[in-house]
Amino acid sequence: MFVSHTREVANIALAIRTEHLTKIYDVGWGRQNVGIDNLTLEVEEGQIFGLVGPNGSGKTTTLKLLLGLIFPTSGNAEVLGMSLDSAAYKSRIGYLPEGPYFYEHLNAPELLRMYGSLFGLRGPDFEKRIQELLELVDMWDRREYRVANYSRGMRQRVGVAQALINEPDLLFFDEPTAGLDPIGAKHIREVILELRERGKTVFLCSHLLKEMEPICDNIAILERGKLITRGSVDELLAGDVTQYRVEARDLDDEIIEQLGDGVAEIIRLDDSCRILFDSREDAFEAATRLEDAGAYLMTVGPDRRTLEEVFIDAVGEEPKDASSVQGS
C-alpha cells in the first residue's frame, strides 16, 4: 500500500516547475518594478491550473517568463521538463497572449495557415483542422474578415484558435475570456474543460474568479508578485465547515432581526444577504421562516466559501460593494 502510494507520487509528471523565479523590471533612473518575487510553483500534467491575482500582481509576467519572451532576474523554471533556453518545448505548447493581436492584412484561415506552417503543418487534413478550429471559436462564418476589421472578441477567438493549432500538450491562456460575450466565454470554458478531458494541461491567468472556480483543479493566488496562497480548489473553498449558510434576496432588516440566537454572522452583499449559523437546525429553521416572510431563498447548506472570498481573505481587502455586519 505504502509502496504503491510513493510510486504514484513519483509518477506524477510536472508540466511546469518554477524555482524562486523572480523578475524585477528596470524602469530607468534606478527605479524598479517588481514583476514576480520568488515564485516557486509546480503544475502537474493533465490539470487546469489557475493563476489569479489583482491587476499588476504578476500573472502576465509569469507567463512571459515561461515563454521566454522576457528573462528572469533570478531563479529558474522548466516547462515540460525542458529549461527555458530550450526551444524544443515551443512545438508542444500553445499561447494565448493578453489582448492578442495579429497581422492585420490576413483573414482567419490565412493566419492559421501561417501559424501552422511554422510547425510544418499543411495539406488537406490541416485545412480540415483549420475549419474545425474556426468552427470551435465560432469564426468560420466570418472567415473572410481581415484582422484589421475584427472586434476585440473576434481577435480573442482567433487567439484561442491559433493557440490550439499544433494540438499542444500544454496551453497558456492569459485572460482567455476577456472581451468575450457570455456565450463566447462559456464556450471557451467548455473548450478548456474538453482539453483537460483529452489529457492536456491548461495554465490559466485571470482575475475573473467566478469563472475560474468551477473549472480549475488548482489555484495559486498572487499579490504584488508574491505567491500568497495555493492549493486545490476543493481545499481552498472548504471554508469553515462548522458553519451553515442561508443566502436570500428580498428581505428586510426586520425579518433578519427576528431570526434570533443561532445567527453567527450577517453579510450583506449587493443584492442579497448571507446569514451564517452555528448549527444546521438553526439554519434550516431560519430558512423556512425567511421563505414564509416572502424572501427569495437562494442557498441553504454548509458554508463553502467562494473563490472570491478566499481571494479577498488572502489579498486582505474588503470588496467595495459588500459590507459586513456583525450579528448579535
Ligand X SMILES: Nc1ncnc2c1ncn2[C@@H]1O[C@H](COP(=O)(O)OP(=O)(O)OP(=O)(O)O)[C@@H](O)[C@H]1O
In whole angstroms, the minimum distance from the beta carbon of 114 to other proteins comes to 6
Q: Which of 33, 91, 117, 306 binds ligand X (CB under 6 A)?
A: 33
> Which position among 14, 34, 70, 237 is part of the footprint of other proteins (CB under 8 A)?
70
Residue spans of beta strands (DSSP E) within the chain: 14-26, 32-44, 48-52, 74-79, 82-83, 93-96, 170-174, 201-206, 218-223, 226-232, 244-249, 263-268, 273-277, 296-302, 323-325
Minimum CB distance to other proteins, residue 116 (Å): 10
Q: Report the residue from 93, 185, 195, 221 that binds other proteins according to the rule CB under 8 A.
A: 93
Contact flag: residue 56 with ligand X (CB under 6 A): yes
Instruction: In angstroms, give the least distance from the CB of 53 to other proteins.
Output: 20
232 neighbors 218 (Cβ within 8 angstroms)? yes
Which of 18, 22, 57, 60 binds Mg ion (CB under 5 A)? It is 60
27 binds, among other proteins, Mg ion, ligand X, none (CB under 5 to 8 A by kind): ligand X
Indicate whether 87 belongs to the interface with other proteins (CB under 8 A): yes
CA dihedral 288, 289, 293, 298 (to 10 degrees): -50
| H-assigned helices in 164-221 | 182-197, 209-215
By rule CB under 6 A, what string of x and - marks binding of each residue 95-114 to ligand X? Answer: ---x----------------
Nearest to 153 by CA among 193, 175, 184, 174: 184
The string of DSSP codes covering 35-47 is EEEEEEEEEETT-
Number of residues engaging other proteins in binding (CB under 8 A): 30
Which is closer to ligand X, CB of 79 or CB of 112? 79
Instruction: Quote the crossing angle between the two packed helices 182-197 and 152-163, to the nearest 10°.
Output: 10
* Cell representation of residue 158: 482567433
Query: On the CB side of 132, how many CA atoms lie within 13 Å of its CA?
Result: 11
* Least Å from the CB of residue 31 to other proteins: 16
- Decide: is 203 part of the binding site for other proteins (CB under 8 A): no
**In the complex with ligand X, which residue's Cβ is closer, 226 or 305?**
226
Binding of other proteins by 97 (CB under 8 A):
yes
Task: In angstroms, give the least distance from the CB of 119 to other proteins.
Answer: 6
Site for other proteins in 110-129 (CB under 8 A): 114-115, 117-120
Q: 206 vs 49, 53, 178, 306, CA distance in Å? A: 11, 7, 9, 16
Candidates 27, 87, 183, 241: give the one binding ligand X (CB under 6 A): 27
CA 167, distance to chain mean position in Å, is 21
Q: Contact residues for Mg ion (CB under 5 A)?
A: 59-60, 98
